[in-house]
Chain A
């Protein structure tokens, strides 16, 4: 994988900010949905679809494509917005999120929308599906890689740990997990609801290679993904430390923004912050 040069990095960071704006607009239009997780994962999602993944948006079923499985389906606004900007479907369609007859279901559904690899929403099932996809690649001697984006909160689920055990046992080096470590879930902070730490030691104990990155640093993510590709005989977990609600000051780090959308006034404030990078630049919309 090629490293990011300065100009490209700036372009991608501007793009991820645009995706954040779109997420706010989508959630406002939908009137329901999750805010904090999608904003926190915008940088990772942008880096995945615009630099890391080997894919063809105009051929969503291209057999050799890298697979991205979104396990915590509730953050799908960021997946949908990124897929649209990548060219999988028209950007205008994003505003149909959660509405009747829309291809943008409240939680992602395979087959409903180009680019969505699996149906998800009920938590804890994505890593196993990614394992199934990675096993199929090994059986077919295919070169594609499988990435599974997971939340920290869904690590309360037993199914996840069953999957972690299986991937370690089977040395699935073509599988990379990316864990959104934003420390919040619906009922509060993860370490209060159900302590997850020490995640590094836990995954390592199950024969995974574990890396930790700043989840808002695209160069760090790209370097970690490159390292994962070079690790043989083990799956890799990248623990991405992110800020939930990233880019919108009043949403950042507040678990109360996990599962609700902004109202009209909040959306306006959020968009202004995003468009001015928190007041550091002037918005073209002013």
Chain B
């Protein structure tokens, strides 16, 4: 059942659930951040509308810098602003930033410990028809491996807004990952967002804490994980679904607790299984509690053009694939 304490959207399993892209949450969050803090500035590399930087740019033209199609320059200018009292947010597609400008981010933002917030948009395979060149599927791995960097992958537009706002309060570099496509709104205005904390969205009903499996997901696929858990109820399979919106630092306590109670884990993310959330979880379990684990994500392959739903199915990240992975993990107990 849904965790009642988190006041999630009661309509989230309905066919007419409200759908919004997480990038919209970046746009509203950035605007609010700008209103709350005069040191917040924004930069964009010729993608102001699609990264939803537009509202900020219109409201605060003096605090917005258009750098043109130059992601390396965007990152390094932001690095200079971030060591001079400003809180720069830089936005582009994740394949270009942190893709194209990896070294600039590493040296001038992460190692330099500059207070820059990096918004990677159009992440994941659900970018769709643009094809694999524009589908960022290694960005979590790249950013997670970088010292000083924190990594957030919000599950819906509301959480995306909260993650954006919370990044202002974090001193130092932050990576925020957003998707292009609409996805169901899972949270509500009352749902808490605590950076660094993983939230249990779905749990076994009744007083028994044991479950058959723990699904740990991030991004819009949290919704698919919830659908899978709900469907398995019919087969009397009990599950935890954890939204690990903070991929770094991982909430080790909550994740180890649910893993312990379930005895099997499935990771779900729109990213390569190597190095992403699944990789982070595997590192955690190998260190503290070896456990049967299955990975839902891209398996060392690039995507292609297609509709988002077609792509998620073809590349093994749909609800059916999650259910299959759950059963595989349970069988290995």
> Closest A-chain residue to B104, C-beta based?
A125
Beyond A110-B113, A131-B77, is A136–B84 a contact (Cβ under 8 Å)?
yes
CB of B26 to closest CB in A, whole Å: 21
Residues A140 and B85 in contact, CB atoms below 8 Å apart: yes
Interface of chain A residues 83 through 128 with chain B (CB within 8 A): 109-111, 117-122, 125, 128
Q: In the complex, which of the residues A121, A140, A166 contacts B70, with contact meaning CB atoms closer than 8 Å? A: A166
Q: In the complex, which of the residues A110, A136, A163 contacts B73, with contact meaning CB atoms closer than 8 Å? A: A163
> Closest B-chain residue to A140, C-beta based?
B85
Is B76 located at the chain interface by the 8 A CB criterion?
yes
Residues A125 and B107 in contact, CB atoms below 8 Å apart: yes
Residues A132 and B85 in contact, CB atoms below 8 Å apart: no
Interface 0/1 of A117-159, CB less than 8 Å to B: 1111110010011111111110110000000000000000011
CA of A132 to CA of B104 in the docked complex: distance in angstroms? 14
CA of A120 to CA of B76 in the docked complex: distance in angstroms? 11
Residues A118 and B111 in contact, CB atoms below 8 Å apart: no
Is B108 located at the chain interface by the 8 A CB criterion?
yes
> Closest B-chain residue to A109, C-beta based?
B111
Residues B81 and A133 in contact, CB atoms below 8 Å apart: yes
Residues B41 and A139 in contact, CB atoms below 8 Å apart: yes
Is B186 located at the chain interface by the 8 A CB criterion?
no
Interface of chain B residues 56 through 71 with chain A (CB within 8 A): 62-63, 65, 67-68, 70
CB of B117 to closest CB in A, whole Å: 14
Is B103 located at the chain interface by the 8 A CB criterion?
yes
Central interface residue in B41, B72, B86, B103, by most chain A CB within 10 Å? B72
CB of A139 to closest CB in B, whole Å: 7
Residues A128 and B77 in contact, CB atoms below 8 Å apart: yes
Residues A129 and B103 in contact, CB atoms below 8 Å apart: no
Residues B65 and A135 in contact, CB atoms below 8 Å apart: yes
Interface 0/1 of A66-89, CB less than 8 Å to B: 000100000000000000000000
Contacts of B82 in A (CB 8 A): 132
Residues A159 and B73 in contact, CB atoms below 8 Å apart: yes
Contacts of A170 in B (CB 8 A): 65
Q: In the complex, which of the residues B73, B86, B108 contacts A118, with contact meaning CB atoms closer than 8 Å? A: B108
Residues A111 and B113 in contact, CB atoms below 8 Å apart: yes
Residues A133 and B111 in contact, CB atoms below 8 Å apart: no
Is A165 located at the chain interface by the 8 A CB criterion?
yes
Is A162 located at the chain interface by the 8 A CB criterion?
yes
Contacts of B111 in A (CB 8 A): 109, 119
> Closest B-chain residue to A111, C-beta based?
B113
Is B12 located at the chain interface by the 8 A CB criterion?
no
Is B168 located at the chain interface by the 8 A CB criterion?
no
Is B292 located at the chain interface by the 8 A CB criterion?
no
Residues A136 and B112 in contact, CB atoms below 8 Å apart: no
CB of A142 to closest CB in B, whole Å: 9
Interface of chain B residues 72 through 126 with chain A (CB within 8 A): 72-73, 75-86, 88, 103-104, 107-108, 111-113
Residues A162 and B80 in contact, CB atoms below 8 Å apart: no
> Closest B-chain residue to A164, C-beta based?
B73
CA of A111 to CA of B65 in the docked complex: distance in angstroms? 27
Contacts of A162 in B (CB 8 A): 67-68, 70, 72-73
Q: In the complex, which of the residues A109, A111, A125, A136 contacts B81, with contact meaning CB atoms closer than 8 Å? A: A136
Residues B81 and A132 in contact, CB atoms below 8 Å apart: yes
CA of A166 to CA of B108 in the docked complex: distance in angstroms? 18
CA of A118 to CA of B114 in the docked complex: distance in angstroms? 9
Interface 0/1 of B135-151, CB less than 8 Å to A: 00000000000000000
CA of A136 to CA of B84 in the docked complex: distance in angstroms? 6
Q: In the complex, which of the residues B41, B68, B72, B112 contacts A159, with contact meaning CB atoms closer than 8 Å? A: B72
> Closest B-chain residue to A157, C-beta based?
B72
Residues B80 and A118 in contact, CB atoms below 8 Å apart: yes
Q: In the complex, which of the residues A122, A129, A140, A159 contacts B80, with contact meaning CB atoms closer than 8 Å? A: A129
> Closest A-chain residue to B103, C-beta based?
A122
Residues B67 and A166 in contact, CB atoms below 8 Å apart: yes
19 contacts between A and B (CB under 8 A): A110-B112, A120-B107, A122-B107, A125-B72, A128-B72, A128-B77, A131-B77, A132-B77, A132-B78, A132-B79, A132-B82, A132-B88, A135-B86, A139-B62, A159-B72, A163-B76, A166-B70, A166-B73, A170-B65
> Assuming A125-B76, A131-B77, A135-B81, what are 17 further A-B pairs, CB within 8 angstroms?
A69-B80, A110-B113, A118-B79, A118-B80, A118-B83, A118-B112, A125-B108, A128-B73, A129-B79, A129-B80, A134-B80, A135-B65, A135-B77, A139-B62, A159-B76, A162-B68, A166-B68
Going nearest first, the 3 A-B pairs with the smallest beta carbon separation are A132-B80, A128-B76, A136-B84
